[in-house]
Structure 1
């Protein structure tokens, strides 16, 4: 059976459209369309509906988009489980596509459904890293880091902080070996998020600042890290530092559409998400609750359909309840 990306590419070619032509009709960026076709990003339901309309998909794209995550070739992966040194590029590609689908399903169904399978897959990648040799090792380790990052997030989202910290530490180890500065920054940022969850403002600020420090990190990650750091300053009562850092974050976020090659896990780093981040910073300014409410309301309303029920949105809804006048 086709994957969503393969079916989209096939339908686009059958319609005689190039990626730029189809992207303009939707309208979305060509880079987003490319990521949909390669399985590196999941499309929201409104975009899927529009693609169905333009390509006469007759529901095929929607059905594939909502298919439960599963490996492309179970027999190949089963062989890899029992013979870790037999891992090849095709098996890694299957595991990468499975990770992309798992992220999308977590948005749709929440973290509790996904945490068990994610642990199983990251344990598999852990075994592969212990056996991988030669030129493929860097790819194995990098994919293991991405699975560890996702598994850490799932544990954080289900209030299992110590397990989340463990997997973020593994992310740091593997991303350092694979020389992936953006994933290293993301792991530091998530550790800052854990500090936020437990009210440790100092580590939240320090880790967020460390995450955005490397200029080789993708600008989308640096933008988020600066916004998280600004939130920490606001929580600490240093409103001047919060404003200064938020201004930097806004400048970085403005560069994201032209940056190219965004990391696979940043598919939700879009204008609505940046609006939510700003609202979360303003929530900690005693005199800015009105602007915080407006930013949070507009950010939530502008999210894609498939993210409207995402469990991670709960933090923003609770912030909105806090700042709304009673």
Structure 2
């Protein structure tokens, strides 16, 4: 019997925070401590001690783990905080003897050097840390006019409105860029940076007031929604749920009805993916009722409402909701301010019509609709292309056309390998089951063999993913 996993204490020191995030990243990739140790050329026991905060990491270890866990810069940045804390600690600190680390167990009398900071973890939880001021400011990506004074964080009182406006603009642009990178490189390369940006916003809002504070919280809600999507795609729906719930809380707190409605739409999407028909319909309608939504967000909500109706077999209600979504996107100006759901295009609505047709047991029509929608699919939506090619394969399999089903599956699998998307692999698992009866076909046999090899490699190597995950349509 394996020993029970010890609860970690990330609020104890930067070293313990490093261990906490290391464990979160390792578990997100479904790696054991021994497996990670082999990848970075240390013992599994050393990985365990570092996670527990009982052994100080080295820079080489942090950089190797960042590389193997597909989290560029995350642990290296945390290591710098560990190093700063170690450098600033007096020689008389009460330390743990015999394990090569300097973990303080006594009170910290250097209040001028360390400050309590509220940070967000990769799973969306809030922890309070005592962090060296220089390390924290250095890790804030150079955002101007952020000061950490007197044991508390504060926006510099001399910050002009224009400066804050620039910060908000830049961070909004960063979120857009991260969403684009996710579709190209996959969630593992994006989530740590998104969480870091959300943590910076957490600090900025502490001393802000009025409209400035509301704007910061609204943007934090947008980052929370993105983190939820990324966690889902990594195969961690529990963390995804935590993030999306926080995003909704922040949206309400900010008073931004458009952002709140957007998050409600996303919750409807998750409900449809989980085959929860009542929640999909109810949340989609709540999103529309929230008011002030960009028209593309309304269209997206209606298409997820349509999925809820399809799940219950209500063909008429499904058609009404899908047609409403089509009508909305057909009349939205290409130059309009629709940045919150720029992805909701006629092709995207067609994808969801195909998904509903599958739920209504019309696979031939669904396959044709998928083919039409994907023929002009944007190259910027690379990862989503893999998801929908997987669903195209499922439609062909249900229509008893195994060769085109296998071809679509192989195309999706290639994208899954490039992006590390758990969602794509999730789409391919039922396809593999559906194609089993045609395993004598060379096309089917080749696809099944390739899928088995990828799943086996992901189960033991870097970027490991679970065999099934919640998808997002």
Among candidates 271, 287, 305, match of residue 229 of structure 1: 305
Corresponding residue number in structure 2 for 1:322: 394
Corresponding residue number in structure 2 for 1:17: none
Among candidates 71, 77, 80, match of residue 143 of structure 2: 77
Aligned positions of 1:157-172 closer than 5 A: 157-172=233-248
Verify: 1:127 aligned to 2:199, yes or no.
no
Among candidates 212, 227, 236, match of residue 288 of structure 2: 212
Equivalent-residue separation in structure 2 for 1:74 and 1:179 (angstroms): 26
Does structure 2 conserve the Cα–Cα contact (< 8 Å) formed by 1:145 and 1:174? yes
Corresponding residue number in structure 1 for 2:372: 298
TM-score, normalisation: structure 2: 0.49
Equivalent-residue separation in structure 2 for 1:180 and 1:134 (angstroms): 13
Corresponding residue number in structure 1 for 2:257: 181
Higher strand share: 2
Aligned positions of 1:101-140 closer than 5 A: 101-140=177-216
Verify: 1:193 aligned to 2:263, yes or no.
no
Corresponding residue number in structure 1 for 2:438: none
Q: Displacement, 1:129?
A: 2.4
Verify: 1:249 aligned to 2:325, yes or no.
yes
Shift in alpha-carbon separation, 1:144–1:133, aligned structure 2, 3 A: same
Corresponding residue number in structure 2 for 1:271: 346
Q: Residue by residue, what CA displacement relative to the aligned partner does 1:130-179 show, whole Å, maximum 9, x if unpaired?
A: 33224422221221111111111111222222222222222222222333
Does structure 2 conserve the Cα–Cα contact (< 8 Å) formed by 1:129 and 1:144? no
TM-score, normalisation: structure 1: 0.70
Equivalent-residue separation in structure 2 for 1:229 and 1:139 (angstroms): 29
Corresponding residue number in structure 2 for 1:15: none
Equivalent-residue separation in structure 2 for 1:245 and 1:267 (angstroms): 19
Verify: 1:91 aligned to 2:167, yes or no.
yes
- How many residues in Structure 1 have an aligned counterpart in Structure 2? 252
Equivalent-residue separation in structure 1 for 2:331 and 2:291 (angstroms): 13
- Ranges in structure 2 where 5+ consecutive residues have no aligned partner: 1-71, 73-138, 402-473
- Ranges in structure 1 where 5+ consecutive residues have no aligned partner: 1-67
Equivalent-residue separation in structure 1 for 2:293 and 2:169 (angstroms): 24
Q: Displacement, 1:74?
A: 6.9
Shift in alpha-carbon separation, 1:280–1:217, aligned structure 2, 3 A: same
Q: Residue by residue, what CA displacement relative to the aligned partner does 1:3-35 show, whole Å, maximum 9, x if unpaired?
A: xxxxxxxxxxxxxxxxxxxxxxxxxxxxxxxxx
Does structure 2 conserve the Cα–Cα contact (< 8 Å) formed by 1:227 and 1:281? no
Among candidates 360, 363, 376, match of residue 289 of structure 1: 363
Shift in alpha-carbon separation, 1:218–1:306, aligned structure 2, 3 A: closer
Does structure 2 conserve the Cα–Cα contact (< 8 Å) formed by 1:111 and 1:157? yes
Does structure 1 conserve the Cα–Cα contact (< 8 Å) formed by 2:295 and 2:332? yes
- Structure 1: 4+ residue segments shifted above 6 A: none
Decide which structure has the larger Cα Rg and report it. 2
Equivalent-residue separation in structure 2 for 1:145 and 1:315 (angstroms): 26
Q: Displacement, 1:297?
A: 1.3
Question: Pairwise CA RMSD of aligned residues?
Answer: 2.6
